[in-house]
Amino acid sequence: MFTREFEADRCPLCGSIMMDGRCADNTCEFHWRPAEPEELLEFETGEDTQREAG
C-alpha cells in the first residue's frame, strides 16, 4: 500500500488529477507514460521549500 505525504492525486508536471501515477491530461507526458513513485519523489523534494505550519 502506498501511503505518502505528498499529494499523490496531483500531477507534478501540469497539476491535473493523477490516478495511480497516470495523469488525466492527455497532453501531459504522464498521461501516456505513468510516473513511477520514485520519479515523483524527485518533484516532491524540489522547489517547494520547507512549508511547515508556523
Chain contacts with Zn ion (rule: CB under 5 A): 11, 13-14, 16, 23, 25, 28, 30
Residue 41 Cβ vs Zn ion, minimum distance, rounded to whole Å: 16
Tell the smallest beta-carbon distance from residue 25 to Zn ion (Å): 5
Phi and psi dihedrals of 24, rounded to 5? Answer: -80, -20
Q: Which residues contact 43 (CB under 8 A, 6 or more apart)?
A: 12
Q: Among residues 19, 46, 37, which one has the least CA distance to residue 28?
A: 19
Q: Which is nearer to Zn ion, 4 or 32 (CB)?
A: 32
Report in angstroms how near the CB of residue 54 gets to Zn ion at its nearest.
31
